[in-house]
Amino acid sequence: MAHPKRRHSSTRRDSRRAHDFLTGKQLGTDATTGEIHQLHRAHVHEGNLVYRGKVVVENYTKTV
């Protein structure tokens, strides 16, 4: 088993562990449509792209 030759500082240790406690994405409910979506993102509702309660693109289709 490999052993480190020198001790790692607490800063290096804590930087490595920084990603161990990630949280889920923040979700919100649109007041006009009632759709649950990711905050600060446009979402599709009934074929239209909606952002902040306003239709941004009508008849929206996702392109690959």
In order along its 64 residues, the chain shows pLDDT tens digits of 788 899 989 999 889 888 888 788 999 998 888 889 999 999 999 899 999 888 999 999 887 7
Give, as one character, the DSSP assignment of residue 16: H
What lies within 8 Å, CB to CB, of 47 at 6+ separation is 58, 59, 60
CB 42 within 8 A of CB 56: yes
| Strand pairing category for 36-38 and 27-29 | antiparallel
The closest of 51, 24, 50, 26 to 38, measured between CA atoms, is 26
pTM score of the predicted model: 0.56
